[in-house]
Amino acid sequence: MKIVSSLADLRTARLSLDGTVGLVPTMGYLHEGHLSLVRQARAENQHVIVSIFVNPTQFGPKEDLSNYPRDLERDLSLLRPLGVDMVWTPSAEVMYPSGYQTWVEVEALTNPLEGAMRPGHFRGVTTIVAKLFNATQPHKAYFGQKDAQQAAVIRRMTVDLNFPLEVVVCPTMREADGLAMSSRNKYLNEAERKAATVLFRSLNAARDLYEGGERDGEKIRAKMKELIADEPLAQMQYVSCADYDSLEELDAIKGKALLSMAVFIGKTRLIDNFVLG
Ligand code: AMP
C-alpha cells in the first residue's frame, strides 16, 4: 500500500496502475461504513485508491472542522488488510493553493435539506470531489447512501461535467442498535449515544406507516417529529419526506421517496435516511 501526499507523487503512482481504478473519497477516522465502500471497490476494480482529506471548504464557520477526529495511523492500519493500492493524503495547500478561486456548483439539488442547513457545504463537496476525480482518474467512485443528498449531487455533477466514471452508492452501515456509523459518533457521551438511536427509531416508525399504506407526506413527517420530540437529548433540525430524484418535499408519496433528517444530539449533529419504494 503506497501512501502519497504531493500531487507529483500521486500522479507518478497513478501512472503505474494499469487497468481499472476504484476511488473511495473519505475524510478519514475510518469506520466499517468507509471500509464497506473500500471492500466493494476492491471487488469491482483492479486497483483501489482511498483519499483521506478533511476538506475545510465543506465546513461552515461554526462547524466542527478544528475538532473533526483524525487518526491517520489507525486509518492506514485498517486499510492495509483490505488490499488498497494507494492512499492519498493531500494537504490543504495542495488542494487549495494560495489565491484559490475556482469552484464547482450544482444548482437545484443542493438547495433543500443539507444544503439549506449548511450554506456552502455542497460547493465545498463538489469542488473537492471534482478535484479528486481529476487527480486520480478513477473508473468508478464509491459513496455511501448515508449521505443521500451528497450521493445525488455527485451523480448529477458527474453527468453534467462529463466525468468518464461510474458513481457507485453503497448501503448505510449501522451499529447493532441501528445507529448509522459516522466519524462524528465519537463525540457522543454514553447518554447521548443511547439517545442517538432516535434517528433510526423514527425512520423505522415512518417506514412502518408507509408500509401500512400511509402516503401522506405530512403525516409521515409528523410521525418522525413526534418521536424526536419525545427524546429529551434530541433537537430536530429538519425531517423530510421528499421525492427521491428532485429532493422536493412531497404532499403525497407516489414513486420513490427519501425520508431524511438532521438531529442534534447534544452538540453533535447527526443525519440519517431511508429510501421508500
Ligand atoms: P466521510 O469520511 O464522512 O466524508 O465519508 C466518506 C464516505 O463514506 C462518504 O461517501 C460517506 O457517505 C460514506 N459513509 C459514511 N458513513 C457511512 C456508513 N455508515 N455507511 C456507508 N457509507 C458511509
Work out the mean pLDDT of the chain and round it to a whole number.
98
Task: Please write the tens of the pLDDT for every residue from 66-124.
Answer: 999 999 999 999 999 999 999 999 999 999 999 999 999 999 999 999 999 999 999 99
What pLDDT sits at residue 242?
98
Residue that finishes a domain, picked among 170, 200, 218: 170
Task: Please write the tens of the pLDDT for every residue from 215-273.
Answer: 999 999 999 999 999 999 999 999 999 999 999 999 999 999 999 999 999 999 999 99
100 with 202, same domain: the answer is no
Task: Please write the tens of the pLDDT for every residue from 111-142.
Answer: 999 999 999 999 999 999 999 999 999 999 99
153 with 194, same domain: the answer is no
What pLDDT sits at residue 134?
98
> pTM higher than 0.85 for the full model?
yes
Q: Is residue 218 part of a domain?
A: yes
Q: Which of 31, 34, 121, 139 is catalytic?
A: 34
Q: Is residue 178 part of a domain?
A: no
Per the annotation, the verdict on 121 as an active-site residue is no
Instruction: Give per-residue burial for 152-166: e unless 16+ CB within 10 Å, then b.
Output: bbbbbbbeeeebebe
Confidence of residue 199 (pLDDT cuts 50, 70, 90): very high
Residue owning the nearest CA to atom 8 of ligand 1: 34
Q: Which domain CATH number covers 19?
A: 3.40.50.620
Residue that finishes a domain, picked among 135, 170, 205: 170
Helix, strand, coil percent values for the chain (each to nearest 5): 45, 20, 35
92 with 20, same domain: the answer is yes
Burial of residue 33 (CB within 10 Å: 0-12, 13-18, 19+) is buried
Give the sign of the dihedral formed by CA 100, CA 66, CA 174, CA 273: negative
196 with 223, same domain: the answer is yes
- The total of structural domains in the chain comes to 2
Q: Is 33 in the pocket of ligand 1 (CB under 6 A)?
A: yes
**d(CA 27, ligand 1 centre) in Å:** 9
Q: Is residue 242 part of a domain?
A: yes
Q: Which domain CATH number covers 215?
A: 3.30.1300.10
Which atom of ligand 1 approaches the CA of 183 most closely? 3
100 with 216, same domain: the answer is no
Q: Is 144 in the pocket of ligand 1 (CB under 6 A)?
A: yes
Q: Is 143 in the pocket of ligand 1 (CB under 6 A)?
A: yes
Q: Is residue 275 part of a domain?
A: no
Burial of residue 86 (CB within 10 Å: 0-12, 13-18, 19+) is buried
What pLDDT sits at residue 138?
99
User: Whole domain around residue 161: which residue ranges?
Assistant: 2-170
Consecutive H or E run containing 88:
strand 86-88
66 with 196, same domain: the answer is no
Q: Is 124 in the pocket of ligand 1 (CB under 6 A)?
A: no
- Starting at the edge strand found earlier in the chain, the sheet holding 257-265 runs 234-243, 257-265, 268-276
Confidence of residue 159 (pLDDT cuts 50, 70, 90): very high
101 with 45, same domain: the answer is yes
Q: What is the rounded (10 degree) CA torsion for 47, 173, 88, 128?
A: 110
Q: Is residue 79 part of a domain?
A: yes
199 with 117, same domain: the answer is no
Task: Please write the tens of the pLDDT for every residue from 4-48.
Answer: 999 999 999 999 999 999 999 999 999 999 999 999 999 999 999
146 with 204, same domain: the answer is no
73 with 191, same domain: the answer is no
State the CB neighbour count (10 A cutoff) for residue 131: 20
Rounded distance, CA 249 to CA 247, Å? 6
Q: Is residue 274 part of a domain?
A: no
199 with 156, same domain: the answer is no
| Nearest CA-CA partner of 247 in 105, 126, 116, 158 | 116
120 with 223, same domain: the answer is no
Query: Is the separation of the CB atoms in 24 and 97 below 8 Å?
Result: no
What pLDDT sits at residue 152?
98
Q: Is 185 in the pocket of ligand 1 (CB under 6 A)?
A: no
Residue that finishes a domain, picked among 170, 198, 223: 170
